[in-house]
Amino acid sequence: MPQDRQALRQHLRLLRRTLSPQQQRQASQALAHNLINQPEIAQADTIALYLANDGEPNLMPLIRLLWQQHKSLALPVMDPSDPKQILFQRFAPDTTMVNNRYGIAEPTWDKGEVFHRKEIDLMLMPLVGFDDQGNRLGMGAGCYDRYLAGDSPRPLLVGCAHENQRLERLESAPWDVPLDAVATPKRWLATYQGD
């Protein structure tokens, strides 16, 4: 297993992209079933999540279930005033979408639809790798870590992953924000390293 973070990222991204379309569909259905049955999801009114890219677990089956439960959902959008920052904007069935500079669909920018961080109860986060201690390896841009930095209240952080993204131990960097739980198609791993 590669040790440096960039080589590790490349290795794990390749692993998740090797899943066939059928395996991806089965994984996304199983993940939705796993998540919708978690009390943390039931208790959350506003949930931030993502749209799958590059072999990430697809959350659309879960999103449809959450809309049926009348949850408020938010997706990351690139901050037009600072391209290194993300914000989270309301996502509903009628939301108009555009592709951002990474080719990922996001809501058309509307400042009035942006949630403040303290308004988000739970955040489902993409990741490249994770360990059982709640350490997360992201894509390397640091967008989520910057968004979550600071002392103001933050949502419950749940990483979403395929089982083949699990590592025995992942060294964290000083700026990394640990996860509170990880959800895969097969399990819910609570790591709760906070208060």
CATH of the domain at 156: 3.40.50.10420
pLDDT of residue 135: 87
Rounded average pLDDT over 73-98 = 94
pLDDT band of residue 1 (cuts 50, 70, 90) is very low
pLDDT of residue 114: 97
**CB-CB neighbours of 186 under 10 Å:** 12
Residue bearing tokens 């939705």:
32
pLDDT of residue 32: 97
Indicate the number of domains in the chain.
1
Q: Does residue 95 sit within a domain? A: yes
Of residues 107, 65, 104, the one with CA closest to residue 89 = 107
Q: Does residue 107 sit within a domain? A: yes
Q: Are 166 and 136 a contacting pair, CB within 8 Å?
A: no
pLDDT band of residue 183 (cuts 50, 70, 90) is very high
Residue bearing tokens 């994984």:
27
pLDDT of residue 140: 67
pLDDT band of residue 94 (cuts 50, 70, 90) is very high
pLDDT band of residue 194 (cuts 50, 70, 90) is very low
Q: Does residue 45 sit within a domain? A: yes
* Cα–Cα distance, 166 to 184 (Å, whole number): 10
Identify any residues that bridge with 124 across adjacent strands, giving them in sequence order: 158
pLDDT of residue 16: 86
pLDDT of residue 192: 61
Average pLDDT of the chain to the nearest whole number: 89
Q: Which two tokens stand for residue 72?
A: 């408020």
Q: Which two tokens stand for residue 165?
A: 């993204």
Name residues whose C-beta falls within 8 Å of residue 81's C-beta, 6 or more positions apart in sequence: none
| Better-scored residue on pLDDT, 149 or 67 | 67
Q: Does residue 20 sit within a domain? A: yes
* pLDDT > 70 in the chain, percent: 96
Q: Does residue 195 sit within a domain? A: no
- Alpha carbon of 176 to those of 87, 98, 103, 172, 173: distances in Å? 18, 29, 25, 6, 5
3-state secondary structure of 48: strand
- pLDDT score of 67 more than 80: yes
Q: Does residue 58 sit within a domain? A: yes
Give me the domain span that covers residue 90. Answer: 5-190
Q: Does residue 150 sit within a domain? A: yes
- pLDDT score of 3 more than 90: no
